[in-house]
């Protein structure tokens, strides 16, 4: 089919707000790295998907995740085969990155065919992922009409359900020098943990030192300081990590990283400040912990997200909603000013910490977000 001219832009068909409707997309396969990226997008009634998942057992998910330790890192075939019937789409967890540069992709829906601009990091993911086995994805930058506040509100209200029902794929960006070797090391070390007794690290001190630059770069990835990552990873039943063409399950990533990080901390010739500016390590530990134990109140939530980054101050509130006890949630509404969001939130905070002291120490919008008259700057 002939490609449309560049001035023909894609327009989203409105979602039906009376239903739990979302858009999902699939990337058209191609081995030609120079050809335009093409995706097909469609609407689905998410309530049907939720009902199907009532038969999905958490214990089965955990066993599947353990079996995924044997995944072939060059292919997602096993991953997709296992989840094709239970988790019908993959929700992407990634960082948007700067607005410039942006790249055009060709989007086709039943009603429209045209070009849509996406930011570079997402473009890199689509380009990498189209060489893998086809799958359906939910990607906020494409599946939500970002120019419509009412649609954004409608979709954010469903965010917790979307990530809870999906397999989550974390995109840490394109491969970089040493990243493939580092991921392979994580996999080897994760496998060693299953042996009794657990053997020593698979590399000696000299070999380990060669991985330090790539480990530092991985941990300094801006993804780990992004606010929305908390909800996305906490709620995902199964999480897959991808760096370029290399993919591995979260448990493999975490256990392999933990072994390597622990070994690095005992190398006497590495300065203690080597990872001092790296916030990823404690963040990784926290995410793993929260996936097991949850986050129930605003006090707990704010203490963990106050230093994380987001482009919209209101996301400090809306971005953690899915982890809270239902009685403490508020409905996301992007038509509200930050000041109004804060006023709506205050009773929930008081309710949340009524049995504790120190309300003043929790500053959800950050001290820089308020002036001396307590008016939100926007």
Q: pLDDT (tens digit, 0 to 9) for every residue of the chain, 378 residues total?
A: 788 899 999 999 999 988 889 999 999 998 888 899 999 999 998 776 665 555 444 545 554 455 443 433 333 444 444 455 556 789 999 999 999 999 999 999 999 999 999 999 999 999 999 998 889 999 999 999 999 999 998 888 888 888 888 889 999 999 999 999 999 999 998 888 777 777 777 788 878 888 889 988 888 888 887 777 777 887 777 888 999 999 998 888 888 888 887 787 776 655 544 554 555 555 655 555 555 555 556 666 666 666 666 667 777 677 666 666 666 777 777 788 888 877 887 777 777 666 455 444 444 444 444 443 434 333
Phi/psi for 281 (5° steps) reads -60, -55
Q: How far apart are CA 230 and CA 291, in angstroms?
A: 9
Q: How far apart are CA 38 and CA 127, in angstroms?
A: 10
Contacts of 293 by beta carbon, 8 Å cutoff, 6+ apart: none
pLDDT at 79: 47
CB 280 within 8 A of CB 219: yes
Q: Strands, DSSP E only, in the chain?
A: 21-27, 38-45, 90-93, 102-108, 113-119, 136-138, 167-171, 238-243, 246-249
Whole-angstrom Cα Rg for the chain: 22
Matching residue, tokens 């570079």: 120
pLDDT at 304: 61
**Of 209, 190, 198, which Cα lies nearest the Cα of 257?**
190
pLDDT at 282: 55
pLDDT at 290: 55
Whether this model's pTM surpasses 0.75: no
Contacts of 170 by beta carbon, 8 Å cutoff, 6+ apart: 93, 94, 223, 229, 233, 239, 240, 241, 242, 250
CB 187 within 8 A of CB 73: yes
User: Strand pairing partners for 92?
Assistant: 169
Contacts of 128 by beta carbon, 8 Å cutoff, 6+ apart: 174, 242, 244, 245
Tokens of 18: 């009376």
The CA-atom distances, in angstroms, between 83 and each of 72, 254, 265 are: 16, 21, 37
Enumerate the H helices of the chain as residue ranges: 46-52, 58-67, 77-83, 120-129, 140-143, 149-156, 159-165, 179-192, 205-209, 212-219, 228-235, 250-265, 280-293, 298-305, 315-318, 338-352
pLDDT at 246: 94
Helices (H) and strands (E) in the chain, counts: 16, 9
Q: How far apart are CA 179 and CA 211, in angstroms?
A: 9
Map residue 104 onto helix, strand or coil.
strand
Q: How far apart are CA 233 and CA 250, in angstroms?
A: 9
């Amino acid at each position: 089919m002939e490609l449309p001219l560049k001035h023909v832009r894609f327009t989203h068909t409105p979602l039906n707000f009376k239903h739990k409707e979302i858009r999902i997309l699939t990337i058209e396969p191609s081995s030609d790295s120079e050809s335009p990226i093409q995706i097909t997008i469609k609407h689905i009634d998410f309530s049907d998907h939720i009902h199907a998942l009532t038969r999905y057992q958490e214990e089965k998910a955990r066993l599947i995740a353990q079996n995924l330790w044997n995944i072939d890192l060059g292919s997602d075939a096993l991953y997709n085969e296992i989840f094709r019937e239970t988790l019908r789409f993959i929700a992407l967890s990634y960082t948007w990155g700067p607005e410039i540069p942006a790249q055009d992709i060709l989007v086709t829906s039943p009603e429209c065919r045209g070009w849509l601009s996406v930011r570079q990091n997402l473009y890199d993911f689509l380009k990498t992922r189209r060489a893998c086995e086809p799958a359906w994805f939910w990607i906020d930058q494409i599946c939500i009409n970002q120019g419509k506040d009412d649609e954004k509100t409608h979709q954010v209200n469903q965010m917790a359900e979307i990530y809870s029902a999906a397999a989550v794929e974390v995109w840490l960006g394109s491969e970089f020098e040493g990243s493939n070797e580092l991921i392979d090391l994580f996999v080897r070390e994760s496998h060693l943990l299953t042996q009794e007794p657990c053997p020593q690290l698979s590399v000696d001190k000299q070999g380990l030192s060669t991985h330090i630059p790539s480990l530092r770069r991985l941990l300094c990835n801006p993804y780990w300081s992004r606010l929305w990552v908390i909800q996305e990873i906490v709620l995902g039943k199964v999480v897959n990590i991808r760096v370029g063409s290399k993919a591995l399950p979260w448990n493999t990533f975490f256990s392999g990283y933990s072994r390597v990080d622990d070994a690095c901390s005992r190398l006497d010739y590495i300065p203690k400040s080597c990872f001092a500016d790296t916030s990823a390590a404690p963040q990784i530990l926290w995410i793993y912990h929260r996936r097991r134990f949850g986050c129930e109140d605003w006090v707990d939530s704010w203490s963990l997200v106050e230093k994380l980054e987001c482009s919209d101050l209101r996301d400090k509130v809306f971005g953690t909603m899915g982890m809270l006890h239902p009685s403490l949630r508020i409905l996301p509404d992007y038509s509200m000013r930050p000041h109004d969001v804060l006023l709506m939130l205050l009773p929930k905070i008081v309710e949340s910490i009524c049995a504790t002291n120190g309300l003043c120490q929790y500053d959800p919008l950050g001290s820089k977000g308020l002036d001396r008259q307590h008016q939100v700057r926007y």
